[in-house]
Structure 1
Amino acid sequence: MSRPAAYAIIMAGGWGERMWPLATPRRPKPTLKLPGSSRSLLAATIESVTPVVPHGHVYVAADGGTAQALLDLDPDLTGDRLLVEPLRRDTAGCVVYALARLLAAGAPEGSVVGFLASDSLMPDTSGFTVALSRAYEAAASSRCLVCIGVRPSRADTALGYLELDLAEGQPAQAGTVLPVRRFVEKPDAATAQQHLLSGRHLWNMGTVVGQIGAFRSAMSAVATDLEAAMDAAVAALREDDAERVRAALEPIEPRSIDYALLENAELAAVVADIAWDTLSGWEAMSRAVGTDMQGNALSGAPLLTDVTDSLVYVDPSASTQRVAVVGVSGLAVVVTAEGVLVMPKDRAQDLRGVVEATREGVRIRIAHRERG
């Protein structure tokens, strides 16, 4: 029996507000390269997928604001391999549009499709490739949607978790495919510590694999609005009617595919025992760069005096600037040609609410928080 066709959709929408001023609308997060790396985040993701999915079946989904920057990075994305979403509807809209594109192009509903984030950080992708292959195998042989969960290595409050449906004392061995009991929201510190020790909680790395028909079945069961939008988009795409495609997607509420579909669907997860992080903000960059004896994560050539537990990142685009930091602790200081950021490291998740894209670049919202 022949294996079903395999496809991969790398979700690269949005420019990455939490990584400003390194990421900008003209240099979106998927195009960034970590210090010391010759590959962008997007290129590294594609490379990790191609041992499992033929290169010609690896697509990149992006919105109109970031598509040109991605094309500049990888001209091979021209043509049908770059899926430019007609309007932004978060990852729920991305999944619906990508599935509609495949169906309109004639992909059978038995085809296996994987959706992956474009901002994963993995020093060695071989373990992930093994887990991804296992997810495709499991999805091909069942009508279940299959996630990849990473065994946590720290108590992290910025990541979501998958709680496995395990009996007391049952081990979650790497490479096994186990049922998911529920999604767990980003926890507080005490709960994150419990998840670290429980043996049944995995980090949700944002990868889900399934047959097109399995996605349809899940939508039919718990998200009929997504199924209706997908079918309407397929019909419009077959007629090459861009306005109807946009109209089909417009009713989709902008939200993640986790909230819109996966939290209420029947899921399994491949247990992955790999080194993994996601470039969700400057705290993640600190972990990727590594710290010195004073707890500082440094990139570029900043001058430091009496500085501890801080991130100081000087981008090569700002190489003409001399950057000195004196007598501080727990700060993030980022200098690029685009701008300068100074904030407490523990406020990194607030950055998204401060910056917004404009036609000219990025505008900074000015907000004052009362001291209480």
Structure 2
Amino acid sequence: MDKNNYVLIMAGGVGSRFWPKSRNHFPKQFLDILGTGRSLLQITYERFLKLCPASHLYIVTNSQYSELVQEQLPGISPDQLICEPSRNNTAPCIAYASFKLAALNPDANLVVAPSDHFIQYEAIFIEKIRAALAYTDTHEALVTLGISPTRPDTGYGYIQYGAESEKGIYKVEKFREKPNLSTAMEYLKEGNYLWNAGIFIWKAKSIIQALKQYTSSIHELFEAGTPYYNLPEERAFIDTQYPKAPNISIDYAIMEQADNIYTIPADFGWSDLGTWASLHESAAKDAAGNVISAPQINVKDTKNSIIQINENKLAVIRGLDNFIVVDDGNALLIYPKDQEQEIKDVVKTMAETYGNHYV
């Protein structure tokens, strides 16, 4: 294992599209969504142990989840927990982590990955990550893994790529926003478009240089912390300065602007598990296409649905097609699966109407 390889696991989101299982106080990365006995965070952590030593795995999360992370990953030290005191999107937290690790190791080569993705073929995934790390080790490049699309999906952003730089590594021409169906079909037909999985590989100094060039305010804010990183004074600096950072994603801040972006097309059985429909797609189904997690249930004339009922309830369901039915504590969701993109906004409206204790 290369001593310069590090992994940043992003675990600060609230997962509102997975409501009501995912709540503000216990979001989906801490849940056993797949029924394996392990949370998505634990699965992701164990996956990356194949790439670098445990001491080189860092968890980036919101301060309110620090105890949850330590409960689920008792082997990590407090120094490996990078806590953001406010939610300012991905660019500030990646900037903070990159400056911190660059202060620790100027040659740090980083993998930035979400904590809540499903990856079926882990050996292929690790192989692609290693190829990306080898490339960024010798090039001032920002690399992203792009997923070879299997359908014209409107729920993902797309990566348009061009000429091959080295074997299996291509220059990115443009990042594309989530398309409508006809545009997604055209992307699939053209053949040089990939799904943007939000998995990035780069040298710490390369992303720091990109921050300096394309988003100087973020660069200046976190560069000022260089005397404090990895020292007791770091916490006070971050608590006072981090909330001043602009709220912007790494895609908008860097990836859509920089000219040294490359991608590795990959197919390793990926799902972002961002929605109930994506879980339905990834999970084992019964003969009617249902994914059911309910110890006491009677289901008739129901198909293509995902159903989760608490163990202390008896459920009787009939006549549903392509629905989400999720019962959890003080909330019940019954929603058409093909309209689930609305759930995030519905949850926001309910919080405003009925209070945050429901979300």
TM-score by length of 1: 0.87
| Corresponding residue to 2:238 among 237, 245, 253 | 245
Distance 2:194 2:336 in 1: 28
1:124 aligned onto 2:121: yes
What's the offset of the Cα at 1:329?
A: 2.4
Deviations 1:132-187 (A, max 9, x none): 11111111010011111111112211111111114xxx8x99x7111111111111
Partner in structure 1 of residue 254 of structure 2 = 261
Distance 1:291 1:155 in 2: 23
**Does the CA contact (< 8 Å) of 1:150 and 1:204 recur in 2?**
yes
Distance 1:202 1:157 in 2: 12
Distance 1:27 1:54 in 2: 28
Partner in structure 1 of residue 215 of structure 2 = 223
Give 3-state SS (helix, strand or coil) of 2:52's partner.
coil
Distance 1:193 1:3 in 2: 41
What's the offset of the Cα at 1:37?
A: 1.6
Distance 1:49 1:145 in 2: 20
**Does the CA contact (< 8 Å) of 2:169 and 2:262 recur in 1?**
yes
Give 3-state SS (helix, strand or coil) of 1:208's partner.
strand
Partner in structure 2 of residue 313 of structure 1 = 308
1:326 aligned onto 2:318: yes
What's the offset of the Cα at 1:364?
A: 4.8
Unaligned stretches of 5+ residues in structure 1: 366-372
Deviations 1:307-347 (A, max 9, x none): 23322122xxx101011222232321111235211111123
Partner in structure 1 of residue 27 of structure 2 = 28
Deviations 1:175-219 (A, max 9, x none): 711111111111111122222232211111111111111112211
What's the offset of the Cα at 1:4?
A: 6.3
1:97 aligned onto 2:89: no
1:8-157 correspondence to structure 2 within 5 Å: 8-104=7-103, 106-108=104-106, 110-157=107-154
Deviations 1:9-35 (A, max 9, x none): 000002211111111234321122234
1:282 aligned onto 2:279: no
Partner in structure 2 of residue 369 of structure 1 = none
Distance 1:273 1:338, change over 3 A: same
What amino acid maps onto 2:292 in structure 1? L
Identity %: 27
Partner in structure 2 of residue 204 of structure 1 = 196
What amino acid maps onto 1:45 in structure 2? T
RMSD (CA atoms): 2.6
Unaligned stretches of 5+ residues in structure 2: none
Distance 1:308 1:30 in 2: 28
Of residues 179-188 and 229-238 in structure 1, the stretch that sits farther from structure 2 once superposed is 229-238
Give 3-state SS (helix, strand or coil) of 2:143's partner.
strand
